[in-house]
Structure 1
Amino acid sequence: MKLLKSLLLFCIVGLLSNCKDATKQENITPNEVKTEKHTDSAGYTYETVTNDPTGLRLYTLDNGLTVYLSKNEEEPKIQTYIAVRAGSNYDPKESTGLAHYLEHMVFKGTDEIGTQDFEKEKVLLKEISDLYEQHKAESDSEKKKEIYKKIDEVSQEASKISISNEYDKMISSLGAQGTNAHTWFEETVYKNKIPTNELDKWLMVESERFSKLVLRLFHTELEAVYEEFNRGQDNDGRKVYVAMLKGLFPTHPYGQQTTIGTSDHLKNPSMVAIHNYFNTYYVPNNMAMVLVGDIDFEETIKKVDKAFGSFQKKELTHPILPKENPITGPVINEVFGPTAESVSIAYRSDAIGTKEEKLLTLVDMLLANGKAGLIDLNLNQKQVVQNAGCSPTFLNDYGYHQFYGTPKADQTLDEVKDLLLAQIEKIKAGNFDEWMINAVINDLKLSKTKQYESNTQLATAYYNAFIHRQNWKDKVTFLDDLKKISKQELVDFANTFYKDNYVVTYKRKGEDTNIVKVQNPGITPVALNRDKQSEFLKKFSNAETLPLAPKFIDYKVAIKETKTDSGLPLSFIDNPNNDLFELKFIFDIGQDHDRKASLATGYLNYLGTDSLSSDALKKEFYKLGINYSVYAGEDKTYVGVSGLKENLDAGLSLLENLWTNAVPDQEAYTKYIDQIAKSRIDGKTSKGNILWNGLMSYGAYGDDSPLRNIYTIEELKAIDPQELVNKIKELRTYKQRIFYYGKDIDKAIASINTHHKIGKEELLNYPEKTNYVEKETGGNVYFVDYDMVQSEILFLAKGAPFDPSKMAATKLFNTYFGSGLSSIVFQEIRESKSLAYSAFSAYDTASEIGKSNYVYAYVGTQANKLSEAVNAMMELMNDMPEAEEQFNAAKEATLKKIAAERITKANIFWTYESLKKLGITQDNREEMYKTIENMTLTDLKTFFNENIKGKSYNVMVIGNKKDLDMKALAKLGNVQEMDIDYLFNYEKENIDVPL
């Protein structure tokens, strides 16, 4: 089956010809694509599409449930999606955010899941619902507070009967990964990736989950959603997005109703309205199930029908949404916030499935494909802006083409805008190479090839087709349809489409006066009842599953070794799936050996050779469908090419030409340094960069860190660019090794022998690596003042040096305690106390032998909840709750994840590379699996006591100083307010010590 799917895939990509689908009739020509109906041995009718590289079987049950099935036996897992054609567009105007909040509540269980006695519980839930209706109708703020106190009181009583997170516990016990859901304009999608042998139990849980909605633990989850709303207020990119949509869609819900909802609506919910929404849209004829992975088609559809076939079909009417009038002139928006300035330009388009989608897809790729588009070459390659690009989005009613750019230090946003518009004018004037049309289509085909190798990405394509009511045949033929579009047609379209009908959104630095700040509602922690079980969970636990045997890798067998004519060691792995390849030259020298390493590799991207300009070089690679990369990490540098195997030789020849004959360009270097300087300025405005890079690195290393070991801008300006070019060329004189993933290893070696010439002299050893000393942690609070609604806090404690014998306990501990929806930390911080939207903790294993493991914990919450959140987290980090049932579920989940894990393709080599850094040369998962099998809760408690309990933390905090309780922070250690320039060691006058 895998061979057949690979062959069919190549038919689409155009690498082979005269392929036939096993299900089509003999009179169909190889290139003909049509939808066919079949009946399997059990009598189920399904559709296929001829020449479909994905092997989709599309079923529709009698009740209208659409089922997408595709088979891939590469790993014993199934990517599952349950999609509902209903999202925020369907929210009542007076209850925005409803669809998204419903998504959260579907995880809370039913009348069977998550309750000890539903007959008693439902009485209290009805009372809570009635109170919320009173709360919504009440206009007096003091009376609303009194009603909310009553809601909180009744919720405490109800929580004594409920059982928190039973769904998550059951799904986790299957060994599921990626358990989550999302809501958008037209969709709500529920996600899990499960081991193949757990399909029956997964269907058992999901059929119950979607059978009935029970809104338990409502007010604590509502507060978590509000924290999610606050995260959005702190996200300037999201604010630009919302402003852009408001301009594009002044009447349609795309622009008038955000998925998260308004603050007022979130604080005044209606449980009645949520129930009505569920009952209206969560019906089988409005839902799809997607299963992609190691399945048996006929057995699987029978199981799906048994689990979901009894759901009752209902007549439903989708809302009729308003039509937009044409945009007749530029619409101008401004958004303010602390992050770097940028500009967005957006044009409204027709919907998905229209001719305009095809035309815009091509135009977009001609403008920006990451390699040789007009924006890529004229703006990014020439470094006339800091960064620029574009991308299209297509929805059920409309779409849009968005352009974005960030300015250089000496640029205005209007100058960036004009440069972007100038690239559109080039399309309108036909100033682009005609060969680019075929090149971008081939690029899209390559992307599809890679997408169809991934079960998750393929399953995503299926559910998107369902949500957007697309015939899969149209998806299969989409690229062929693009081939029919001429250059003149694109030019004519561009002149009609791109006029002064755009929405421009300026993201400016400054205070956002539209921020909504609220008081802590004072939620009393609810009971979790970890030691309780519903009857459903007991039945679920007793259901038998055939065990799945783990498979481990003998790396010495899986990775084959040979040498080139020059004696270079070459590791290779065959690609059994398609004709794509990856070739890397690996040098065990990086930024820690030479501070100029990443500077030099980055500079090479802007250079050409003595015979090819940098633009011409990019175009030549793009014609071949070949990507090249030169990258320096901390301890390694990689030089490589990837793409179509048939063009490996030509691609490697181009790379070697650049490597050998690169010519320095002073103007390009000056712009390159200006770009680095601007990126430092912009990076200082990103709270994520400040916390997870600046503060975290300082918490681990202090002043002497790899992050701070940088050149000043003045030092960078003084470097001769010829020195950097020489450094790249001299790489070839160092010891090196090669990795190849693909077919025809002999041809690959022949190409390497031809183009990668190494001198006869002995290759050089690497310079000594800089050793950065990890400092002892404890007693320090490093704080950065930042204009934001939430506050974020990170605890970091240095642990013992890496010890492979701890890896099994680490994996089990993290599952049980700190990560995932059913973990102790998530349940206590979010589910019980509603103190944060995001909270997690981990024992983090070092990436290299000789380095230390670390303990860390994170909470992101409103400033007025921070003290409570810190206390709650510290209690957990010093006294691990012991829950036997939860431990058993975590243990079972961890073992099943290992059993279902398959390391394949090029990942075999790269995983082995990571293990070698830890001093491990065998597949250590086998030892870990056996160790976890024999572990008890007592063992885990011992691990906690020895490695986590009582640790001394450095505490990193980012938040708005005027909102934070600094005295509370002082209880955690010596508070040092950090200057951001000092954190990153950026030059700043008179800065010698932290401020």
Structure 2
Amino acid sequence: MTQIKTLFVLAILAICFSCKTDQNSEVAAATTAHTDANGFSYEITENDPTGLRLYTLENGLKVYLSKNTDEPKIQTYIAVRAGSNYDPKQSTGLAHYLEHMVFKGTDKIGTLDWEKEKVYLDSISNLYEAHRAETNLDKKEELYRKIDEVSLEASNYSVANEYDKMISSLGATGTNAHTWFEETVYKNKIPANELDKWLTVESERFSMLVLRLFHTELEAVFEEFNRTQDSDFRKGYYAMLKGLFPNHPYGQQTTIGNAEHLKNPSLVDIHNYFNTYYVPNNMAMVLVGDLDFDATIAKVNKAFGAFENKEVTHPVLPKEDALTSPVTKEVFGPTAENVSIAFRANGIGSEDQKFVTLADMILANGNAGLIDLNLNQKQVVQNASCSPTFLNDYGYHQFTGTPKEGQSLNDVKALLLEQIEKLKKGEFDDWMIDAVVNDLKLSQTKQYENSTALASAYYNAFIHHEDWASKVKFLNDLKKVTKQELVDFANKFYQNNYVVTYKRQGEDSNIVKVQNPGITPVHLNRDKSSKFLTAFNSMESEDLKPKFIDYKTAIKTTETTNGIGVSYIENELNDLFDLNIIFDMGGDNDKKLKLAANYMDYLGTAKYSNEELKKEFYKLGVSYYVFAGDDKTYVGLNGLKENLPKGLELLEHLWNNAVPDQDAYKKYVESIIKERQDSKGQKGSILWNGLMSYGKYGEKSRLRNIYKTDELNAIDPKELVDIVKDMKNYNQRVFYYGKDVDAAVAALNSSHTIPEDLKEYPEALVYEEQETGGNVYFVDFDMVQSEMLFLAKGEPFKAENIAASTLFNTYFGSGLSSIVFQEIRESKSLAYSAFSSYQMADEKENANYVMAYMGTQANKMPQAVSAMMDLMTNMPEAEKQFNAAKEATLKKIAAQRITKSNIFWNYESLKKRGIENDNREEMYNTIKDMTIEDLRNFFNSNIKGENYNVMVIGNKKDIDFKALKELGKVQEMDVDYLFNYEKTEKLKM
């Protein structure tokens, strides 16, 4: 099973599995009650591999606790059963709005004088109510100008980002939140020694809602709305939901909200929503990490136990009539065409969950599913897959497909439906259900190693009213389903009752243009503090000492009988393994190597067809891959340790005996050309690949060094197979992560035969980085926002600069409390996303780069450019903010633990930079002694005065080219030229 598909299905499992407890289950999963040393009651589930303790405080707050000592950190989630389903009809987008505002503080956090500030905030609220009710456009504009004026006055008494400053000072990572149909979830990963301080700030944060700095944040939400309009994926998703749910909010209320509602918010409605749903009996806290159960629940109770519960009644939502015939939807945009077919299912707790989950994996598991083998492996379509989603009221099973060149969307639709028909006829192997369940168990084992993934499963259980005991035994329940039962279900479920959504290329006539309101920048008061922040900073936490790695002892070595060096790290957690045969050569050494490695995925041998190979590996619970990068090639195998010998034997059989397939190669080339054409419709690919590469290397880049269509057609597929087979004749090394390294080496000795004398690698092609400055590279693209990337080549890599650059990035360019984010978004509302960084080269021969990015409305571009360039020339200095950034950086290093297989891969990265030791120790000691003067010197030496190439993507009709010309010579770039594609890639085979 491919990793992407695996993780997606596991996410669905985490969200969806909630079946009634089966008293006759072969594997008991009973819930039992216990009492800890402090008298707090909790529930545990028998045979639960996660070790969950589920507490319920007296006020109804659910607390999910689980222990993971891999690192001295705790993944935290605070989940609220409050999502866009419950937005008032006249205030869609409200739950998401509110999520943003919960970061703005309370009457204690973020204020310099609450009594004075409150007068202005009340006035702003009243003005918004008047603005909402006003129908005269001129008067509305007058009211908005008044809101802007009063907001500026209010900002004299506020401190922007105090919550973020406090959380950052803990050394927290992943600070964020999200809103969906039935949930709003707040996220942080904190050092374990900072739990007390985290609880202090979170208990205050959720104690009340203050809507300060509202109109600037509203503009940030509008920028997020624009990003949604620029996403063809989201447009297709929304259209599908409208078809599936013509009455229910799933289809009728997007989480981001209606544009008119966003323009006319009600602060009263937002307060009412918070007071209704943000109560302890409608909330859960999830903590997974290095914690003591008894001490932690006592602390949580002290912080949140006094919150008063209220009766919560969620709205009764409309029911849907059965779909009896296909529903057709269409959306338009610049990205590649695709088709989606979706079948509506019953929701969480229904039998549909169990059967759709199995059906989904039989159809597409990334290796041996019907869609995998019949469509993807045979290259009948460009790509295809399926995935289930289950929510409280309903769910759906979605199938997606992208056509090959010359193939219609209806052709793809017919092929997808054909695979469903095969399922309905039982045209799959009898062993597949057992294999699918074993695959899910294997993937679940990996998931439970990760504290963030496990914590996500817990909060989903809360949001969807799930019984954890049912989740524990769910996979065993799946295994009881017979093939006939699944076939019978499929014939009832997959009928002529679907929604088909055609994503076509073309102009979207439904785009909403948003005016630039001309917001007056508010005061940030970054050098001032509330009394709460001052008291918070005086709290002391138990000291957490960093731990560094001696790579020479952490990575053990042995060798095979034929002399191949084997580096290994023992897996102390479970019986999964990962074996990598590594060649220190890649596409830079042999241009055809990447082509050859990818081609192997479609081949079989004289003994096994490609389809049979995929099935054999899937039966074993083992996956294989051949992957070539720029400078490395990997032949890998991972899965169940007990099946390593058989899996390696099978991989070596393919490696030695792969048979070239001309038809498979023909389709492979067609797929490459179609993928190139499709990538030209992806703005992210154009900016971060095409423009970024051109800004660094100009014409002679790795990105442009490709085979044209005629060249691809002229290649003999046997030559590609021979290239992969010949890899065995080159120098190589092995990395093994798992138990029983002796058994792994024995398997290598038995199956991996190589010649006595190995060849040296071919010389690698070197791509020269160009000097930057004075160039503006622009690509015209049909989009609402514009995106800009500033890039300046710096000095060559120096290990001694890593410490300063790390601190600089924390202080200046990354994170919610950084200088760039505060100035561009919080103060001026010029962008939804803005950041800057000093990027250290990943190889010692390469240069460092200064980079800055903004995504903003085109009509804000001149202001945004001016603001960003001013920051990149004159770094604002704030002593308190510097000290907080320094403390945060040190705490992040102190809490960081490099473990498991990451020890090896991290060491591999360091060696490319010429570093042989754990350089974090030197970083830590250097940062401890740094002052703001040191940071100023680093800025003046490495950032200020740099010469930038500027990369811009946006709609030519909206771009202010006069503003761009001030940055350098504007050159409109052809996308085909950027990637060195042919204007029309004709398939000549």
- The counterpart of 2:691, out of the listed 684, 690, 695, is 695
Deviations 1:450-476 (A, max 9, x none): 110000000000000000000100100
Does 2:226 align with 1:249? no
- Return the offset for 1:519: 1.4
- Return the offset for 1:968: 1.1
- Counterpart of 2:498 in structure 1 is 502
Does 2:466 align with 1:465? no
Q: Contact conserved, 2:597 with 2:626, CA < 8 A, in 1?
A: yes
- Counterpart of 2:158 in structure 1 is 162
**1:658-807 to 2 correspondence within 5 Å?**
658-760=654-756, 762-807=757-802
Distance between the aligned counterparts of 2:466 and 2:799, measured in 1? 50
Q: Contact conserved, 2:28 with 2:473, CA < 8 A, in 1?
A: no
- Counterpart of 2:585 in structure 1 is 589
**1:114-125 to 2 correspondence within 5 Å?**
114-125=110-121
- Counterpart of 2:616 in structure 1 is 620
Q: Contact conserved, 2:337 with 2:503, CA < 8 A, in 1?
A: yes
Deviations 1:525-557 (A, max 9, x none): 000000110000011000011110000000000
Whichever residue aligns with residue 292 of structure 1, its letter is V
- Counterpart of 2:980 in structure 1 is 985
**1:818-833 to 2 correspondence within 5 Å?**
818-833=813-828
Distance between the aligned counterparts of 2:544 and 2:895, measured in 1? 7
- Counterpart of 2:895 in structure 1 is 900
- Counterpart of 1:944 in structure 2 is 939
Aligned residue pairs, count: 964
- Counterpart of 2:833 in structure 1 is 838
Distance between the aligned counterparts of 2:648 and 2:392, measured in 1? 43
Whichever residue aligns with residue 730 of structure 2, its letter is Y
- Return the offset for 1:518: 1.8
- Counterpart of 1:317 in structure 2 is 313
Distance between the aligned counterparts of 2:283 and 2:135, measured in 1? 38
Alignment gaps of 5+ in structure 2: 1-12, 14-23
- Counterpart of 2:90 in structure 1 is 94
- Counterpart of 1:8 in structure 2 is none
**1:402-441 to 2 correspondence within 5 Å?**
402-441=398-437
Does 2:857 align with 1:862? yes
Deviations 1:102-161 (A, max 9, x none): 000000000000000000000100000000000000011111000000000000000011
Distance between the aligned counterparts of 1:778 and 1:642, measured in 2? 46
Q: Contact conserved, 2:78 with 2:284, CA < 8 A, in 1?
A: yes
Distance between the aligned counterparts of 1:443 and 1:698, measured in 2? 42
Distance between the aligned counterparts of 1:980 and 1:32, measured in 2? 59
Secondary structure at the counterpart of residue 266 of structure 1:
helix
Aligned CA distance change for structure 1 residues 744 and 989 (closer, same or farther; 3 Å): closer
- Counterpart of 1:113 in structure 2 is 109
Distance between the aligned counterparts of 1:109 and 1:514, measured in 2? 36
Whichever residue aligns with residue 173 of structure 1, its letter is S
- The counterpart of 1:172, out of the listed 148, 168, 171, is 168
> RMSD of aligned C-alpha atoms?
1.2
Deviations 1:887-935 (A, max 9, x none): 1110000000000000000000000000000000000000000000000
Distance between the aligned counterparts of 1:569 and 1:75, measured in 2? 30
Deviations 1:676-718 (A, max 9, x none): 0000000011000000000000000000000001110110010
Secondary structure at the counterpart of residue 160 of structure 1:
helix
Q: Contact conserved, 2:29 with 2:470, CA < 8 A, in 1?
A: no
Whichever residue aligns with residue 957 of structure 1, its letter is V
Secondary structure at the counterpart of residue 793 of structure 1:
strand
Q: Contact conserved, 2:567 with 2:736, CA < 8 A, in 1?
A: yes
**1:472-483 to 2 correspondence within 5 Å?**
472-483=468-479
Deviations 1:340-383 (A, max 9, x none): 00000000001012111010000000000011100000000000
Distance between the aligned counterparts of 2:323 and 2:393, measured in 1? 16
Does 2:847 align with 1:847? no
Whichever residue aligns with residue 596 of structure 2, its letter is A
- Counterpart of 1:221 in structure 2 is 217
Distance between the aligned counterparts of 2:922 and 2:666, measured in 1? 53
Q: Contact conserved, 2:69 with 2:290, CA < 8 A, in 1?
A: yes
- Return the offset for 1:32: 2.3
- The counterpart of 1:654, out of the listed 643, 650, 654, is 650
- Return the offset for 1:167: 0.2
- The counterpart of 1:394, out of the listed 387, 390, 400, is 390
Secondary structure at the counterpart of residue 801 of structure 2:
helix
Whichever residue aligns with residue 142 of structure 2, its letter is E
Whichever residue aligns with residue 542 of structure 1, its letter is S
Q: Contact conserved, 2:25 with 2:477, CA < 8 A, in 1?
A: no
Does 2:847 align with 1:872? no
Whichever residue aligns with residue 234 of structure 1, its letter is D
Distance between the aligned counterparts of 1:341 and 1:325, measured in 2? 30
Name the TM-score, length of structure 1 as normaliser: 0.96
- The counterpart of 2:137, out of the listed 136, 141, 150, is 141
- Counterpart of 1:888 in structure 2 is 883
- The counterpart of 2:31, out of the listed 16, 31, 35, is 35
Does 2:193 align with 1:190? no
Name the TM-score, length of structure 2 as normaliser: 0.97
- Counterpart of 2:362 in structure 1 is 366
Secondary structure at the counterpart of residue 602 of structure 2:
coil
- Return the offset for 1:987: 1.9
Distance between the aligned counterparts of 2:967 and 2:29, measured in 1? 66
Distance between the aligned counterparts of 1:278 and 1:105, measured in 2? 10
Distance between the aligned counterparts of 2:117 and 2:55, measured in 1? 39
- Counterpart of 2:70 in structure 1 is 74
Secondary structure at the counterpart of residue 94 of structure 1:
coil
Mean CA deviation greater in 246-255 or 963-972? 963-972
Whichever residue aligns with residue 221 of structure 1, its letter is E
- The counterpart of 1:921, out of the listed 916, 921, 926, is 916
Distance between the aligned counterparts of 1:79 and 1:216, measured in 2? 28
- Return the offset for 1:31: 3.6
Does 2:40 align with 1:44? yes
- Return the offset for 1:776: 0.2
- Counterpart of 2:299 in structure 1 is 303
- Counterpart of 2:21 in structure 1 is none
Q: Contact conserved, 2:858 with 2:959, CA < 8 A, in 1?
A: yes
- Counterpart of 2:17 in structure 1 is none
Distance between the aligned counterparts of 2:86 and 2:982, measured in 1? 52
Does 2:381 align with 1:385? yes
- Counterpart of 1:526 in structure 2 is 522
- Return the offset for 1:410: 1.4
Whichever residue aligns with residue 767 of structure 1, its letter is P
Q: Contact conserved, 2:354 with 2:478, CA < 8 A, in 1?
A: yes
- Counterpart of 1:23 in structure 2 is none
- The counterpart of 1:638, out of the listed 629, 634, 637, is 634
Distance between the aligned counterparts of 1:141 and 1:345, measured in 2? 43
Aligned CA distance change for structure 1 residues 621 and 29 (closer, same or farther; 3 Å): closer
Deviations 1:196-249 (A, max 9, x none): 000000000000000010000000000000000000000000000000000000
Distance between the aligned counterparts of 2:351 and 2:554, measured in 1? 47
Distance between the aligned counterparts of 2:98 and 2:984, measured in 1? 53
- Counterpart of 1:599 in structure 2 is 595
Whichever residue aligns with residue 785 of structure 1, its letter is D
- Return the offset for 1:30: 9.5
- The counterpart of 2:534, out of the listed 534, 538, 556, is 538
- Counterpart of 2:482 in structure 1 is 486
**1:10-29 to 2 correspondence within 5 Å?**
none
Deviations 1:152-197 (A, max 9, x none): 0000000011000000000000000000000000000000000000
- The counterpart of 2:545, out of the listed 537, 542, 549, is 549
- Counterpart of 2:6 in structure 1 is none
